[in-house]
Structure 1
Amino acid sequence: MSSHDPDSQELEGRPSRRAFVVLAGAGVAALGAAGIAATSGFLRPQQPAAPGAGAQPAAPAQPAEPAQPAWTRGSRLFSADSPWNTPIPQNPAIDPASAAVQKAVLRNPKLVVNTILYSYGIPFYTATASTPRRQLRGRGAFDDPIPLDPSWRPNAGGDRKMNVLDPQRGLVYELQGYDAANRSAYWAVTRDIVNDKGDGGTSFGRTGPTGSGLSQAAGVVRIDEIRAGRIDHALSFITADPARGFRYPATHGDGSNTAAGAIQEGMRVQLDPALDLTTLDLTDAERAIGRALQVYGAFCSDTGRGNNMAMGFYMEKPTAGTGDPYKAAGLPEDWAQLKNIPRSAYRVLAASVTKR
């Protein structure tokens, strides 16, 4: 999707081909040890079991679930104060360009607001202690082997993406242009954004997993979140023809559009929280996504030249181990549109997030 890729291919309505591998710190792996559990797709404190009533015998104890970091079970990635995990304050400043962006992009009837589910959706895999660690070949090679199960496959789109969660090391390996047969990737960069730097962005120059330099794992709507009907982080979207320049949390931009109202990479779009979602005839997926857009908003992370998207939201691609909740949630096909969320309620926020 990035114009700085020398081998980019503009596919019809699809992102172009590029390959990267990124290590990103999860930033929340220690929550499991602090008594936080992932319940219904978001974090809740664990509560002790209620005592039995009257003289009734206590229920038999259930086997303990194997310990694993909370972020492998669908909770949000990166640090709590990451821009991705920071709720939008009340009465936020509206960007001076918001009206122009609404007219040119967000309300433009020639463009769509949709979901990226299958061909370009991003699969997630979780490494375990027994996952083979293999040397990545080609320009995507690392000095050290990374966890790569032979059965793992990237998406089928031209960018061939997948993310690998490594709870043993608290990392996310982000692969693009991955060739499973040859264990190779077209291009690789290494990002170490663990612990206090685990914000889902980067400050390591102009190359990265996306045109904006933002993590390709950040903002992806996970399958467990759709099942739970709750998303507790900002979303990541691509737009057809982004503006030149960028803003934080993006570290660079690959847009070239100079027209008034073009979306700039790093821009944060919010669904007006004054909109009462309960009065709308929404699907389960639209309701969960709409709430997240009101509370956290969405960041423009990349360009999708050649498509007709005002905003295309990245979703987790189903794999053999996840099942597929999308049709039941009201997303019947790849590129399913969010038609029941009124586009007149989208607005662009001023760049108020301060780099840490």
Structure 2
Amino acid sequence: MNKRFFSDDSFWNQKVGGEAKIHPRSGEWIALLEKVDGNSGFYLNLNEWTVPVYEATADTPVCSIEKRLPHFESGYEYFFLNSKPYISDGHPVGHGEGFGEAVPIPPEAEPDCSNDAHIAVIDRERGMAWDMWAAQKKDDGTWWSCTGMKYDLYGSGVFNPTQFKIHNGESIHLYGPSRASGVPIIAGLIMHHEILAGRIEHKLAFASDCAGLLEHVFPPAVWTDGGTPGGIPEGAVLQLDPSLDLDSLGLGESEKVVARAMQEYGLVLVDVADGASLYGEGLWGHEGLSWDGLLSQEGLRGIPYSSFRVIEHGMSVEKGMVPMAHHNINRNYHFYTGVPHTDGTIPSGMERRIEPQNIEQGTAE
């Protein structure tokens, strides 16, 4: 059975190619990566701030997932701040359509140990996937999560933006997706079995400190939480120079597997984080599996950002979440503009791009 997520013609499973057109702003965006991280190269999230993936079968126990977002002690205020006018009895409040009932969760399943507490469950026989952010198993054995999406494991891997009745300025988390760019959290994940096999046959996902403010690329992104004016749009694809001799970089064999995928398939900006990081699956609950001695979190740091380029992309959509009381996003907005911004209101000068009415997704303004 093919263990690659999504269909063969999925955006995530397409190679970039050596003759791909480079975006006119590539040099500017790569310089921005160098500025925020000192050109020290990508980090690999392996032990925290990543996504554990569990496989379910017909025998896996199922449970109902309660909506946690209205009770989330560290997130309620800022995630609801720009959504208060739109909350009603019919609002999804964090759980997408079809998510919540009869979710299979293996007994050994554990969310990511960081505050994001991501978790994904896949069922290869039924061809379904479920993913969550801020998931938690409560003392009574029940589960709740701030977000939740159910989708086709062998589908496109790109959500239909029209399914989210989101208003410009809000967070996509209120509508189900667990990534702030609105992509599945299993998309672009480096899987343990892929490193053992010596091949990664899909694009990789990464997070960066310089994700662009109110701009994303569809496909694959349907939203953004970027706080950097003029930064790299979430959904943009970077490619490691395909002519680069990997043997010249002093990489371990497993790191070469990742670097080769960055040359062949590229990597996609999907979220905001300190510096710039890729994601290896979290191995909590997987007895006998470990990244120790196989892949190093610092193993790619020797590849300078100057060896990457941003590939020309399709539709650029000027919509997304505005800076609010979120430490990373608000910090970036302040750093690049000098404008203090802590109360979640629309920043001065951004009024033209924020529309209070319901918007139609997937079209550029």
Shorter-chain TM-score above 0.5: yes
Cα drift, residue 92 of structure 1: 0.9
Q: Distance in 2 between matches of 1:343 and 1:111?
A: 6
Residue 110 (structure 1) aligns with: 38
Name the structure with the higher helix share.
2
Q: Distance in 1 between matches of 2:249 and 2:67?
A: 50
Cα drift, residue 105 of structure 1: 0.8
Q: Which of the residues 192, 195, 202 maps onto 1:223?
A: 192
The correspondence of residues 243-262 of structure 1 with structure 2, limited to 5 A, is: 243-244=212-213, 245-248=215-218, 249-259=220-230, 262=231
Contact 1:154 1:162 in 2 (8 A): yes
Moved more, 135-144 or 263-272: 135-144
Unpaired runs of at least 5, structure 2? 69-93, 167-171, 317-361
Are positions 1:239 and 2:204 aligned together?
no
Cα drift, residue 337 of structure 1: 4.8
User: Are the structure 2 counterparts of residues 76 and 200 from structure 1 closer, same or farther at C-alpha, using a change threshold of 3 Å?
Assistant: farther
Residue 199 (structure 1) aligns with: 157
Contact 2:128 2:150 in 1 (8 A): no
User: Which ranges of 4 or more aligned residues in structure 1 deviate by more than 6 Å?
Assistant: none
Residue 21 (structure 1) aligns with: none
Residue 13 (structure 1) aligns with: none
Q: Percent identity?
A: 27
Letter of the structure 2 residue corresponding to residue 127 of structure 1: A
Contact 1:239 1:302 in 2 (8 A): yes
Residue 256 (structure 2) aligns with: 287
User: Are the structure 2 counterparts of residues 109 and 234 from structure 1 closer, same or farther at C-alpha, using a change threshold of 3 Å?
Assistant: same
Cα drift, residue 110 of structure 1: 2.9
SS state of the match for residue 264, structure 1? strand
Are positions 1:81 and 2:9 aligned together?
yes
SS state of the match for residue 327, structure 1? coil
Q: Distance in 1 between matches of 2:38 and 2:208?
A: 13
Residue 182 (structure 2) aligns with: 213
What TM-score does the superposition give when structure 2 sets the normalisation length?
Answer: 0.69
SS state of the match for residue 300, structure 1? strand
Contact 2:131 2:149 in 1 (8 A): no
Q: Distance in 2 between matches of 1:201 and 1:287?
A: 31
Deviation digits for residues 63-119 of structure 1, max 9, x if unmatched? xxxxxxx3xxxx210011111100113311101110101212147553651001112
* Coordinate RMSD, CA, aligned: 2.4
Residue 12 (structure 1) aligns with: none
Q: Distance in 2 between matches of 1:194 and 1:114?
A: 27
User: Are the structure 2 counterparts of residues 218 and 202 from structure 1 closer, same or farther at C-alpha, using a change threshold of 3 Å?
Assistant: farther
Residue 97 (structure 1) aligns with: 25
Moved more, 120-129 or 154-163: 120-129
Q: Which of the residues 52, 55, 59 maps onto 1:123?
A: 52
User: Are the structure 2 counterparts of residues 162 and 191 from structure 1 closer, same or farther at C-alpha, using a change threshold of 3 Å?
Assistant: closer
Residue 268 (structure 1) aligns with: 237
Q: Distance in 2 between matches of 1:322 and 1:76?
A: 22
Deviation digits for residues 237-279 of structure 1, max 9, x if unmatched? 00013111101221111112115xx221011000010111133
Residue 4 (structure 1) aligns with: none
Cα drift, residue 146 of structure 1: 1.0
Residue 281 (structure 2) aligns with: 316
Q: Distance in 1 between matches of 2:51 and 2:128?
A: 17
Q: Distance in 2 between matches of 1:340 and 1:234?
A: 20
Are positions 1:351 and 2:286 aligned together?
no
Contact 1:265 1:300 in 2 (8 A): yes
Residue 8 (structure 1) aligns with: none
Residue 299 (structure 1) aligns with: 268
Deviation digits for residues 38-67 of structure 1, max 9, x if unmatched? xxxxxxxxxxxxxxxxxxxxxxxxxxxxxx
What TM-score does the superposition give when structure 1 sets the normalisation length?
Answer: 0.70
Unpaired runs of at least 5, structure 1? 1-31, 33-69
